[in-house]
Amino acid sequence: MFGDQTYDPNCIKELFLPFDLIHQEPVSAEQVLDFVARERGIDRRNESSFSAYHFPKVVDESELLDGERCGLCFRPFRR
Ligand SMILES: [Zn+2]
């Protein structure tokens, strides 16, 4: 979740992929977020230490609403 939108892992990766990582080996969304968090001095493991408007927070699959869609590609999270 970033801001008031929820994104799938692929799209959140696109949104946050830093320039330095573009030409490297394929990386996962988690690796990208870990990298960006480190650069910004954000402790991803302590979600109460930052706002979802500054850095994305993890959403558990069980927290998704029925028919909720990705904020970027608009694909539904569940089919
Ligand atoms: Zn998406």
Note down the domain range covering 12.
1-79
Please report how the helices 9-16 and 29-40 are oriented relative to each other, as an axis angle in degrees rounded to 10. 40
5 confidence band (pLDDT: 50, 70, 90): very high
Cα(11) to centroid(ligand 1), Å: 5
52-72 residue pLDDT tens: 999 999 998 889 988 999 999
Q: Cα separation of 12 and 72, whole Å?
A: 8
Number of H helices, E strands in the chain: 2, 0
Going by C-beta distance under 8 Å and a sequence separation of 6 or more, which residues neighbour residue 11? 70, 71, 72, 73
Please indicate, yes or no, whether the overall pTM of this predicted structure exceeds 0.75. Answer: yes
Tell me: pLDDT of 79 over 70.
Answer: no
* 42 alpha carbon – ligand 1 mean position (Å): 24
How many structural domains does the chain have?
1
CA 77 to centroid of ligand 1, rounded, Å: 9
Tell me whether residue 15 is exposed, middle or buried, using C-beta atoms within 10 angstroms of its C-beta: 0 to 12, 13 to 18, 19 or more.
middle
Over residues 16-52, the pLDDT tens digits come to 988 777 777 788 999 999 999 999 999 999 999 999 9
Residue 58 alpha carbon to ligand 1 centre in Å: 15
